[in-house]
Structure 1
């Protein structure tokens, strides 16, 4: 049978593996293999909730082996070292568990799909990579959460304050700032720390552009800024970062913004691994693909999501967003399921809008009609509900209706008996 290997179990990679497993794998038409360095999947747009303590990743993480068993694909946990395009193989690092013989593993493929996601882009700002934390993974988010709690406890003991600086006013930075403000209040209510969350914990968002959330209308961006300020968060727009030190973020005007914790959320790029495959890449190391999401210099290799550079002839470059990865996964699931010799369709990205959470009860965003193309601005509780449904839609694509309804009930019951944030 043909072997289709998917590297990366993010939003796009896991959905593609699930769909191909349900069609090709279940019908014994192909061997579908998913490779990821982690044992489970966590939806990356929710990493800010892990960093703030609102979400416990151990509860929300989806097991790759369990998903593979239920949807007729295979899973191998491993770190990709290199690719041999001439022999159509990839090499994985030796297993890390005890008893490993230390030998690299080789996997052959007939078709390869790169779904490696993205990592933080520090834009060569001095000190940023050394002193700023990121939200590239669950481990990164948990590190930030623990360091925030430790900083609050230490400041309470020393009668000082905690300064958190978030660089980047996009969705990740804005959502983290709002959730972190609420978490600081919850932690104080449970007496995890003795600080006054209104005066002793200062959160700042630094954005280079003139507005937060550049993907939204300026009116909505201003609404988001007002909401953050109402939570006591400092919003600094039109401010470029020149340097990051261990205890400060220094802007282009030479002003030092004190920082016990610095979180960098100012942009992304493809992982360094993408530049080692010998494939055409852009300045962000993204794999350049054609209208069928196929690499421009290897017809057996495809790429999707944040690690792919797809330029729509009408709308331009597809942004690094979850809805792009979802649409590309659906497209490739259909394309790779077709019999050989059938014409290849062209991928077309449809922007259905964007939603940004501003805390538990409010959000802002825009919805775009699939047929009319008209945009509708939404906000408040309605936008917040729609935002919550985005994650449910992702789960629906992976599990089906019955399981999603059951999981929603479990989550509702769990919320009744556990604190709103992790306390340790």
Structure 2
């Protein structure tokens, strides 16, 4: 049987492995073409990455949203192998997985080699610190559930400590942002993209809920400060300017301080220094200023990468130097005809590429010419927590371009995750999952309190 290996269980990779298993698994496909499908991921569970800012703010319990890869594999006819991709032998069509350790550092799974006929790489992206001094050591990224949970716990602890600390007014001086009305605790978010914007709004809600439940007696608006630092001329630089303007107005109403056109030069314990000479107090710093591809891609047996470390692929999603290796999602630099830039690193792009590869891989099994991928931009949505949402719908959705905000935008944003669930489990189970999620929210606080 043909051997498909999908490396990376993110939005695109897991959807592709699920659909390949449903179509080609010997257990599900009693007639016709059969294939062996294997999914590889470093973690045992999946969570939709756009939800991590909600995990960090405590408004989502990750353990109720995680999906076990082994269970998904059992339900949909593919095999799951846990481990990091550590090497590739293209000549022998073989990849190497690293050792998996348990929580105590003991070996759980040894290093292994897997053989493939078609390899699909979908390992996503990681945070890019751009060489900023102190950023990796003194700021938190939001790439994984554990990082998001770490930030949430540190936020709760900081609020509880701040309540019992003696607050002394700080006089502002040259090159400092501190004032006599300085908040008791201040969170600095570096990067005004979607992650930074969504997290800043969610944190304002978190501060209010923590106060309402008595975890601290701070004023959630004045004693808990949120600063969003963006190097460019506006937040949400990848979206249209009118979406950026509308979002900035909403954040300002929520009490989020925006520092636009400020490049971070150094992150130190308790503070951030900008290139213009300003010093910003930061009890907690979140780094959301950009992404890059995982470093392993640059070491994979001669595969071509761009300056961000992404695998360079053709419009068939095949890598430049090897027709047997495909890439999709954030780790792939895919051409976007008619645009100066590549297909953007968004969940909707990964979803479209997974759907495209189902057709392309079917053609490959039949020795037919492969089609070319065309990205359709349906717009972008940014969640501002339960306060609002904002975005623009484009193309096939409305036949034009329309700015949306408020409840309708919030509904559209929530629908994106439900569509992801439907792609993994079908629409019937998606409806049941939505109902179960609603029941949980009626019996639990809006924010995780411990």
Q: Distance in 2 between matches of 1:415 and 1:294?
A: 43
Give the structure 1 partner of residue 190 of structure 2: 167
Question: 1:96 aligned to 91, 94, 101, which one?
Answer: 101
The secondary structure found in structure 2 opposite 1:149 is helix
Give the structure 2 partner of residue 6 of structure 1: 6
Give the structure 2 partner of residue 332 of structure 1: 357
Give the deviation of 1:101 after TM superposition. 7.7
Judged with a 3 Å threshold, the aligned counterparts in structure 2 of structure 1 residues 318 and 102 are, in CA distance, closer, same or farther, namely closer
Judged with a 3 Å threshold, the aligned counterparts in structure 2 of structure 1 residues 282 and 257 are, in CA distance, closer, same or farther, namely same
Question: 1:87 aligned to 84, 89, 92, which one?
Answer: 92
Contact 2:99 2:110 (C-alpha < 8 Å) held by counterparts? yes
Give the structure 1 partner of residue 413 of structure 2: 387
Give the structure 1 partner of residue 342 of structure 2: 317
Deviations 1:330-366 (A, max 9, x none): 1111111223321110000010000001121411100
Q: Distance in 2 between matches of 1:253 and 1:104?
A: 48
Give the deviation of 1:102 after TM superposition. 6.8
Deviations 1:309-348 (A, max 9, x none): 0012223411111011001111111111223321110000
Contact 1:23 1:337 (C-alpha < 8 Å) held by counterparts? no
Give the structure 2 partner of residue 358 of structure 1: 384
Counterparts of residues 20-169 of structure 1 (less than 5 Å) = 20-25=20-25, 26-27=28-29, 29-97=34-102, 100=107, 103-160=110-167, 161-169=184-192
The secondary structure found in structure 1 opposite 2:448 is coil
The secondary structure found in structure 1 opposite 2:385 is coil
Judged with a 3 Å threshold, the aligned counterparts in structure 2 of structure 1 residues 343 and 189 are, in CA distance, closer, same or farther, namely same
Give the deviation of 1:220 after TM superposition. 2.5
1:400 aligns with 2:423: no
TM-score, length of structure 2 as denominator length: 0.91
Question: 1:268 aligned to 273, 276, 291, which one?
Answer: 291
Contact 1:54 1:421 (C-alpha < 8 Å) held by counterparts? yes
Contact 1:20 1:337 (C-alpha < 8 Å) held by counterparts? no
TM-score, length of structure 1 as denominator length: 0.97
Aligned length: 424
Give me the CA root mean square deviation: 1.5
The secondary structure found in structure 2 opposite 1:185 is helix
Which is worse superposed, 10-19 or 76-85? Answer: 76-85
1:422 aligns with 2:440: no
Deviations 1:204-237 (A, max 9, x none): 0011111111233323212211211111110111
Contact 1:361 1:384 (C-alpha < 8 Å) held by counterparts? no
Q: Distance in 2 between matches of 1:239 and 1:102?
A: 46
Q: Distance in 2 between matches of 1:103 and 1:24?
A: 29
Q: Distance in 2 between matches of 1:30 and 1:224?
A: 47
Judged with a 3 Å threshold, the aligned counterparts in structure 2 of structure 1 residues 146 and 111 are, in CA distance, closer, same or farther, namely same
Give the deviation of 1:141 after TM superposition. 0.6
Question: What stretches of structure 1 of length at least 5 have no aligned partner?
Answer: none
Contact 2:192 2:229 (C-alpha < 8 Å) held by counterparts? yes
The secondary structure found in structure 2 opposite 1:33 is strand
The secondary structure found in structure 1 opposite 2:14 is helix
Give the deviation of 1:273 after TM superposition. 0.8
1:214 aligns with 2:240: no
